[in-house]
Amino acid sequence: MRAARWRSARKIAADFMNMNSLQDLFSLRGHIGLVTGASSGLGVECAKALAIAGADVVIAARRADRLETLAAAMRREYGVRVLPVAADITAESDREQLISRAVAELGEIDILVNNAGIAPTGRAERISREIWESALALNLTAPMFLSQKVAARLIERGKPGRIINITSVLGQAASAVYRLSPYTASKAGLSNLTRQLAVEWAPYGINVNAISPGWIPTEATEGGMAKPGNREKMESLTPLGRLGLPEEIRGAVIFLASAAGNYVTGSILSVDGGYTAW
């Protein structure tokens, strides 16, 4: 096993000798990505990032109309194939259907971005079991079983791949602003699941990493940010002194999905304006 790994490391090194352009390092042409939660916010930007780098992309969420509009815009703008699939990824049957349609209509997925997530608020002493379970189902269970499906197919076919989980700075520490027990617990789970899957699937050439965003205005966060004092508090907790832009996640996605990220696995890449640096 070890000898095989060394040979493959030498081969990878040899390939890198010929990587002399940005195109070689960052191009995703010939790859097929799947982004969940692509009907708004950061998911839209993750999908665009893959398309900018040349990948064909499957975009999934429940709101089909939004996906259709985004798919048409991406085809026009980036000239890649885009397949919108309406799916509630907390349902096993929808996850099945999502993967089988993606494979049948675009081809084998080799980049999975587990982005869909919810952040219900509520006092820990009163939060209902239903809310707790809904956050875990979307933020932790869905990424696990989508990753399992994608990885099992790659392993069976001897193909390498990339999995990128969108976790959160609140997977690392508690929220100073909101009462978010199901969210912080599920994102902490997702962060450590990233490391575990990275270790288990490294022998198959499947790199598993996470991106940990800080405060970024989206549908999920705008309401809370509009409440008196919240935005100022978030800005003051962020060394760069401002909230992020959804587009600022693009570079991290391309890096982790491309050849540039070949030797990166089990990492949690902060895109948080320094929020977790102090």
Ligand X SMILES: NC(=O)c1ccc[n+]([C@@H]2O[C@H](COP(=O)([O-])OP(=O)(O)OC[C@H]3O[C@@H](n4cnc5c(N)ncnc54)[C@H](OP(=O)(O)O)[C@@H]3O)[C@@H](O)[C@H]2O)c1
Residues making contact with ligand X (CB under 6 A): 36-43, 61-63, 87-90, 115-119, 138, 166, 168, 213, 215-216, 218-221
Q: Estimate to the nearest angstrom the gap between the alpha carbon of 49 and the chain centroid.
A: 11
Q: Residue 5 carries which side chain, given as an amino acid letter?
A: R
E runs forming strands in 109-247: 111-114, 161-166, 206-213
Helix residue spans in 179-240 (DSSP H) = 181-201, 219-225, 230-236
Residue 54 or 178 having the CB closest to ligand X: 178
Q: Which residues does residue 83 pair with via DSSP β-bridges, in sequence order?
A: 58
Residue number with CB closer to ligand X (37 or 189): 37
CA neighbor of 142 nearest in space, from 103, 109, 95 = 95
Identify which of residues 101 and 205 has a Cβ nearer to ligand X in the complex: 101
Residue that the structure tokens 């508090």 belong to: 233
- Give the dihedral of Cα atoms 74, 39, 41, 124; nearest 10 deg: -160
- Residue 180 — φ and ψ, nearest 5°? -135, 45
Element at 46 (helix H, strand E) = helix 41-52
Angle CA(141)–CA(144)–CA(149) in degrees, nearest 5? 125
Between 216 and 269, CB nearer to ligand X: 216
Active site residues: 183
- Minimum CB distance to ligand X, residue 215 (Å): 5
Chain-centroid distance, C-alpha 244: 17
Task: Write down the least CB distance from residue 87 to ligand X, Å.
Answer: 6
- Cβ closer to ligand X: 39 or 181? 39
Helix axes 142-157, 181-201, angle to 10 degrees: 10
